[in-house]
Structure 1
Amino acid sequence: MSELRTERIAASTVEAYRGTFAADDPALTDGDTLPAGWEGVFFPFDAVLADLRPDGTPARDGIIPEIDLPRRMYAGETTEFLRPLHLGEEVTRTASLGSVVEKNGSRGRLVFVDVEREYAVDDEPAVRTVWHDVFLEAADPDAPARAPRPDPAVVAEADWQEELTLDARQLFRFSALTFNTHLIHYDRAWAREVEGLPDLLVHGPLTRILLMDAARRNAPGRVPVRLDLRAIAPVLVDLPLRIVGRTTGDSTRVTAVDPDDVVLATADIDWRKTS
């Protein structure tokens, strides 16, 4: 199963993201370099309404086979940045099915699915990424919540930190930009009563870009060549989020933590210096 699509890196889409999540960055125009990670707001989901699951995620998208589990979550991704993308370029994205692995965990059956994507300009690969999703059984409202695991050392040992709080307006805008209809991001009743969360969930792919943005701002003169991101715990709307980073040599570990120092996501970024 695979999909081939072509899209222009439009300044209007870039400005929609920048104005919502990176307002301190300069505005960009055609010919400017697209910040690494921002390719994630292009090629929005395009499954027709009839091909959505009850939770709003695609059931039939021509890539992932139908999975007979009701919940779908972003678990992370691995990305290689081979060459910069630029505003105005025509980009061809190829998406295909990677590995599909079924497991049984403490809370039932899980299916891990990888989607492999390549972004190319004039047949030259620019970005390669493997997106990790997990499909889960229905949430059990009577199951005890997992005890949080604070890690104060992550913050104490960081070279830098940034703080932000994402609200429902921003989640709505990211859903609109990426045509993401997963109810967990905008329907509080669904998030609480079906998914068993305290509130709306911040998109995993948005957390990925925010971690990349923070790392980029704190690594002048460096260009990312690889990103390995792991989603660990839910990032929730309206709660302060700290993004902290520590650099060793040519690698930076970026971590998202909640107000209680609980680790929510980690990203390892490898850099090269600009010439």
Structure 2
Amino acid sequence: MTSLLRRRCYSSATSACRSVADTLCADLLCNAKQAPPQIRAQALDPDQLHRLSRTLKRPSLYSDLPLEEQVPANQLSGRPVVDYGTPLPPGYHLAYFTPTSHNNELGPDGTDLAFSPPAPFTRRMWAGGRIEWRKDHPLRVGTSLATETSSLVSAVVKRNRVGEEMIIVSVEKEYRNGPGEGEVSLVDRRDWVFRETLPEGAAEASLAQQEEGQEKRLGDEEIEAMLPSKVDSNDGPILRTRDFVQTPTSLFRFSALTFNAHMIHYSRDWARQMEGQRDVVVHGPLNLINMLDLWRDSQQGDRGNGYAIPASINYRATAPFYVGERYRGILQAEGGKTAVRLWGIDGKGGSRVGMMGDIVN
């Protein structure tokens, strides 16, 4: 799929004092208004769901639906691994409706260019978003022609504390079990941040700053001392915790499942030399799924509770997680919602939140 920005929209309102980023945002929005929504159709293949569960190291799709027990019998009988009609677990739609761009239509870093601004804003990161589920009309395994309808919502310029410009692009995606104007199953609003290509030498300087004083890889006991406690804190009772360590294999598999060629997730050289990251970066969508699974596992009686599908999640990514580094998910009750935080080491002898979300039942 090619970028929306293939022709330039000119406006009499264009000002000479407008920054390059402001102009690119205006062009993106102008082209989006002239183009129809982007629609993809795909079968919700149960085998894709099984591969995702294997990648996540989850033996069961739901508490009373073990995948491993079904596989041998189903392979012999020809039945699907997961029964048709089973609701898709929250977040698992991210393994479907994958990009369809040709190789020569991808960005230099392997990213899909749909809804992307052009150079110099080439460095993309998943920034956060919001998902709302329609519990009465969930996406279902085996649906032969589910649809995804994508529209650009906004493109705005933000500046950080040192004045660096970045473009925040928000896209809204509606999912249905069938084509046309059928009932919406979920609405997924995603925010991406695009930063400028790093100038020569900037990546090396960033790495030197991150790695200053780090002479060895931290051991388990040292990491445990840095991460938040697994017991209740002043922020509220802890419902559940889980530690994660993503390997090169798990990141490669998730990239393959989502047809995501973004090199920051599998090329250490690219991550370090072009992005200034200290190692390969864990996918934002993978962390989002793990947060939702942590919440889902805290619910009693999946199938008796509408398969434990929440009403909504608001989430935000604040710092990257890296391959091979342990990080911790903590689920806490906060008023009428459930807060989930992913904590990792900050490279400076402490810990920091890398992703946070608020889930409403």
Q: TM-score, normalised by structure 1?
A: 0.90
Q: Residue type of the partner of 2:53? A: R
Stretches of structure 2 that go unaligned for 5 or more consecutive residues are 1-31, 61-65, 68-81, 213-225
Q: Check conservation: 1:111, 1:134, Cα contact below 8 A.
A: yes
Q: SS of the residue aligned with 2:311?
A: strand
Structure 2 distance, partners of 1:214, 1:178, is 21
Shift, 1:65, TM fit? 4.7
> Residue 319 of structure 2 aligns to a residue in which SS?
coil
From 131, 151, 173, the equivalent of 2:190 is 131
More helix by share: 2
Gapped regions of structure 1 (runs ≥ 5): none
Quote the offset at 1:155 in angstroms. 6.7
Q: For residue 351 of structure 2, give the secondary structure of its aligned residue in structure 1.
A: coil
The CA distance in 1 between the partners of 2:296 and 2:42, in whole Å, is: 25
CA drift of 1:219 comes to 2.1
Aligned-pair identity (%): 31
One of 275, 289, 299 as aligned partner of 1:219? 299
Conservation of the 8 A alpha-carbon contact between 1:80 and 1:225: yes
Distance 1:57 1:33 in 2: 30
Match of 1:7 among 25, 33, 42: 42
Q: 1:49 maps to what in 2?
A: 103
Q: What is the alpha-carbon distance in structure 1 between the residues aligned to residue 187 and residue 323 of structure 2? A: 30
Matched with 1:188 is 268
Which residue of 2 is the match for residue 269 of structure 1?
A: 359
Bigger radius of gyration, 1 or 2? 2
Q: CA deviation at 1:231?
A: 0.3
Tell me how far 1:245 sits from its aligned partner. Answer: 0.4
CA deviation vs aligned residue, 1:9-39 (integer Å, no higher than 9, x gap): 1101000100110423222321212101101
TM-score (ref. length: structure 2)? 0.69
What residue in structure 2 maps to residue 235 of structure 1?
Answer: 321
Bigger fraction of residues in strand: 1
Structural mapping, 1:95-174, within 5 Å: 95-105=150-160, 106=162, 108-122=164-178, 123-139=182-198, 140-141=202-203, 142-143=205-206, 144-145=209-210, 152=228, 156-157=232-233, 158-174=238-254
Q: Is the 8 A contact 1:82 1:126 kept in 2?
A: yes
Q: Give secondary structure in 2 for the equivalent of 1:197.
A: coil
Give the C-alpha shift of residue 250 in structure 1: 3.9
2:139 to 48, 62, 85: 85
Q: What is the match of residue 54 of structure 2?
A: 19
Are residues 130 and 192 of structure 1, via their aligned partners in 2, closer, same or farther at CA, if it must alter by over 3 Å?
A: same
Contact 1:102 1:110 in 2 (8 A): yes
